[in-house]
Amino acid sequence: MNPKVKFKIDAQKDLPTFKAFIKEAGFDDGRNLEWAIFKKHPQLRKIVKKKSDIDYLFIKKYIEGLYKKNIAVAAANFKVYETNWKKKEGRFFNLVKDLFHNRPWPKGKYIAYATIWGMFPRFLEDKTFQIPIKYKNKKYVNAIIAHELLHFMFYDYFCENYPRYKHSENSIYVWHISEIFNSLVQNSPTWLDVFEKETMSYPEHKKIISQLKKKYKYPMSLKIKNLISDIEPFIKILLRRKK
């Protein structure tokens, strides 16, 4: 059975997300923290001077203030997001069904929560994710939703078929593979016919994607294990360079 995405606005969700960006800043030299927090909320830069000395009460009040200020806009946007998604979800689930050969969806909440931050994280444990409280191109939110849902299916598949990578020490390695996989699939003609907009790719993945696109012209008969095998050597080189 396909999951039904629920759309919720909850200011309490954004403080844990903020903390997650702070916690993970060491993995990417603070890049995502810059993109997600400081680029959109530069006034918070002076608050986040030291990881161990952040005024989280101030951050909490800051988040609540923005939600209170934007609640009417958020409510209107989320109605549009939900309406737009319902127009696409049937075709999306058919694409995933074809790609993963009728694999059942993993169990979870499948809730799209609002966020004031500039990036839209997913939470694999309970299958929830975040979408922008407001966004210039509302139709692009469909591509964001599809991106996160595709991640849930991919991670479930990957953990079952590659159990040696389940440990947290391999999370960055698997993340790279999942993002490249999503870009190759979502930016293929078949998926663009549904969602119209390409999913965004990380800068370090663009050359890899460009090379693999020559071989994987989805929707050819795509064998996921073959694609993963072709992605892995690139990721090993990429991670070695970062050491």
The DSSP code sequence of 1-51 is -PPPPEEE--GGGHHHHHHHHHHGGGGTTTHHHIIIIITT-GGGTTT-S-T
Flag whether 208 is in a domain.
yes
Flag whether 35 is in a domain.
yes
pLDDT in tens, 167-219: 888 999 999 999 999 999 999 889 999 999 999 999 999 999 999 988 876 65
Domain that holds residue 143: 6-242
Give the chain's domain count. Answer: 1
Q: Model-level pTM greater than 0.85?
A: yes
Flag whether 209 is in a domain.
yes
**Which DSSP category does 13 fall into?**
G
Flag whether 204 is in a domain.
yes
Flag whether 1 is in a domain.
no
Statement: residue 22 has pLDDT above 80: yes
Flag whether 153 is in a domain.
yes
pLDDT in tens, 76-133: 999 999 999 999 999 999 999 999 999 999 999 999 999 999 999 999 999 999 999 9
Location of structure tokens 């090379």 = 211
